[in-house]
Structure 1
């Protein structure tokens, strides 16, 4: 990802916090397979685990999620995992990196008309698009054969329970309701569904973030963006105004 220095966000804890708040990632793989596309992407909700060695700067944590076994991307992943050196009957780790892209729902077109300082002074302004995104790279371990391997069944059970608990906690807080648990569904039903998914565990090797929210602007132009976005009277405009305003305060 191209990141201008003004937009770079490189603090691992900030990036992990972003992923926790925006867990739906786009998993992209590049795997040679005789019957599947080389490049494939799927939207997958991920849980991010903290580093096991917090004092080690190279330990960025890991991502856990699952993908439908019927998905062509899952089939390519499983085939590559089975052929990987040191693979076990139910799991294997690919040598090449995979990429997961996480984005914030707060994103918007920004018209040059909002640059109230530079536009009247020089006219040297053009439109742009503001957004926030994190790219996570790592090596993926594929957990498959859930119908026969106790290790994979246990891994998948823990993964789906942890992800559900994380997501339900936020829903229950907002709705003031009771959180749903995997154990609320019949065990036999859950076991059948687990046979239809493949687990993906990604040991992170690189985290990169770009917050493109007006950091390069003068204070007058930035305030123009904040005021203009609020004047739209939309939830997106209000959210964008808040992000640009907050980032401006932090950078002062």
Structure 2
């Protein structure tokens, strides 16, 4: 089989998912690659169509063992027509749990045929120099494996006679999916260290939820809109953003203690 275009669709607040998808695309070797960056709020919320003779690689971060909730309404703009898809999840070295099977099910609802899937590791959202967890990942080794994954995908496609149910991939996970209750976290958000902040506005521009504004010469954060992706923290040029919450610190401290051993990417073709 062949395809006419390769589309990369992703929700990637800190850029790690985008990097992996780019390396997968290199391995696939398509000449025509289109990026569909669904990370930032967009005024145009119309559907994005993908034809049956195209290939879509869709990627999302993992939050609490599931597809990041904020990514779902962005990705569901994609409308396939029995379009072959590669599904990719990015997690912070703990576990991707039910995220990959959830993304598989969602992609089918949106009209796609998931023919391959991958779980890759990216620097944990809460990671820092003082409390590292998968810092600097995906690294060169990860991106090399992503490129190899892309080559495996290309080999599978070349050996297919048709894009149909026989080409579907099985991915690990549980049904029902792991339950997540964010009610205790809804009021928690990143905040600004006012004495350090220069009001440059970079955090406003990079927030995927539009939760940050500058009003009356001060940075304001909508706590209910913040998803704790920490893009503003990692991207602030003067380190003026932080998550200063004892509950988060306790949870992340436990994760750091138990999940320092390097996890490796997993692929399913």
Could you say which structure has the larger radius of gyration?
A: 1
Normalized per residue, which structure has more strand? 1
TM-score of the two chains, using structure 1 as the length reference: 0.26
Greater RCO, CA 8 A, separation 6+: 1
TM-score of the two chains, using structure 2 as the length reference: 0.25
Normalized per residue, which structure has more helix? 1
